[in-house]
Chains A and B, each alone.
Chain A
Amino acid sequence: MGSVDTRMTGSGLQKTAYFALVALILYVTFTGGA
């Protein structure tokens, strides 16, 4: 107990990476990779 777990809730890097991943999937989806 005591320490706060920030693995998925807090870290800015993880959030940025996550949104970049979603954006990448959408980009490749709509452009077909060209």
Chain B
Amino acid sequence: MAKRYGGAYSPDSAASDQPTQGAPSTARPRAPLHNARPARAGARVNLLFLAPLPLVGLAFFRDPPQMALSLAGAGLLLAAAWLTREGVAAHAAYDARKVARRPAFPRKIFASVLTGAGLAAAGLVQGSMVEAAIYAGLGVALHLASFGLDPLKNKGAEGVDTFQTDRVARAVSEAEAQLAAMSEAIDRVRDRRLSDRVERFQATAREMFRVVEEDPRDLIAARKYLSVYLRGARDAADKFADLYRRNGDATARTDFEALLDDLEQNFAAKTTALLSDNRTDLDVEIEVLRDRLAREGVKMDRD
């Protein structure tokens, strides 16, 4: 018989010994990285920080004007790399949300311009103006081709006034802050199973965020969940982490896990309810359209 490998310190070993603890009985099992996406601002952007660094060292073996140009070029290229990272992260955040405003400051486009300026400065050290201009043009074009433009349009805000979307965005970012504080508290305990458990609850909560973002009218119904319950969960996680770190109280842990189960079930149920509201909306829409069509038909008969 095949048996899953696992030792005493494997992350899931305790859970498989006591199948009743941890996961709520009704929740479907979820992969740990469910809905997660790899961060785009990874190694590729970091290499942009490394590439101009030799320029700093080389600057000190050159004449003063060349040194100034080299240092200016290095500074501009490093600033461009930093802006690129910010821009890629902002774009990822834009993609993750259903409703998002375009960034107020187009970081990636500006990073392309900075890259061009940095290359021009570095190219002027030995080259002519024409050569520097060619490097700048190439740099801008290549940067734009590899990182793309920033999102230039608002997303998902059609037909909904900005006041409503702003309210939703604010509520969601406050809720995200509570989730982050909760993770921070639980990470203090240094227990991987607990961290996983909290992450699973957070994934359920985030599903609700996405539903609310999709239909801002749901915010009124979900408000209590996004503020009161999440704040309560955060406070509970904080107090539990302090207590459990001090004395490793097993009952406190069971209680906390039970609380997470309850919260998760409630959040999931509310999310389903919100979605079925949308379903009702759809039904009404269909009904109204059908009625109107039928009336048109009658009118045509009369004509």
> A residues within 8 Å of B by Cβ?
5, 7-9, 13-15, 17-18, 20-22, 24-26, 28-34
Which residues from chain A contact B123 at a C-beta distance below 8 Å? 28, 32-33
Task: List the B residue with the shortest CB-CB distance to A34.
Answer: B126
Beyond A22-B48, A26-B51, whether A9 also contacts B38 by CB under 8 A is yes
Point out the residue from B44, B95, B126, B145 that lies within 8 Å of A32, measured CB to CB. B126
Beyond A32-B122, A33-B125, whether A13 also contacts B145 by CB under 8 A is yes
Across the interface, do A8 and B88 meet the contact criterion of CB distance under 8 Å?
Answer: yes
What separation, in Å, do the CA atoms of A13 and B139 have in the docked complex?
15
Task: List the B residue with the shortest CB-CB distance to A22.
Answer: B51
Given contacts A25-B119, A29-B52, 15 further A-B contacts (CB under 8 A): A13-B145, A14-B147, A17-B142, A18-B147, A21-B143, A22-B47, A22-B51, A25-B52, A25-B77, A26-B51, A28-B73, A29-B51, A32-B58, A33-B127, A34-B127
Across the interface, do B66 and A32 meet the contact criterion of CB distance under 8 Å?
Answer: yes
Nearest 5 CB-CB pairings of A with B: A33-B127, A33-B123, A32-B126, A34-B126, A32-B125
Which residues from chain A contact B47 at a C-beta distance below 8 Å? 22
Across the interface, do A17 and B146 meet the contact criterion of CB distance under 8 Å?
Answer: yes
Point out the residue from B38, B58, B88 that lies within 8 Å of A30, measured CB to CB. B58
Across the interface, do B139 and A21 meet the contact criterion of CB distance under 8 Å?
Answer: yes
What separation, in Å, do the CA atoms of A19 and B127 have in the docked complex?
23
What separation, in Å, do the CA atoms of A26 and B43 have in the docked complex?
17
7 A-B pairs (CB sep. < 8 Å)? A13-B145, A17-B142, A18-B142, A18-B146, A22-B51, A25-B48, A26-B51
Which residues from chain A contact B145 at a C-beta distance below 8 Å? 13-14, 17
B40 within 8 A of A: yes
Beyond A8-B44, A24-B139, whether A29 also contacts B146 by CB under 8 A is no
Task: List the A residue with the shortest CB-CB distance to B142.
Answer: A21
Which residues from chain B contact A28 at a C-beta distance below 8 Å? 73, 119, 122-123, 135
Across the interface, do B44 and A25 meet the contact criterion of CB distance under 8 Å?
Answer: no
Which residues from chain B contact A9 at a C-beta distance below 8 Å? 38, 40
B55 within 8 A of A: yes
What separation, in Å, do the CA atoms of A15 and B146 have in the docked complex?
6
Which residues from chain A contact B147 at a C-beta distance below 8 Å? 8, 14, 18
What separation, in Å, do the CA atoms of A8 and B41 have in the docked complex?
9
Which residues from chain A contact B29 at a C-beta distance below 8 Å? none
B54 within 8 A of A: yes
Point out the residue from A20, A31, A32, A33 that lies within 8 Å of B142, measured CB to CB. A20
Which residues from chain B contact A5 at a C-beta distance below 8 Å? 37, 95
What separation, in Å, do the CA atoms of A29 and B74 have in the docked complex?
9
Across the interface, do B148 and A30 meet the contact criterion of CB distance under 8 Å?
Answer: no
B115 within 8 A of A: yes
Task: List the B residue with the shortest CB-CB distance to A28.
Answer: B122
Which residues from chain A contact B132 at a C-beta distance below 8 Å? 33
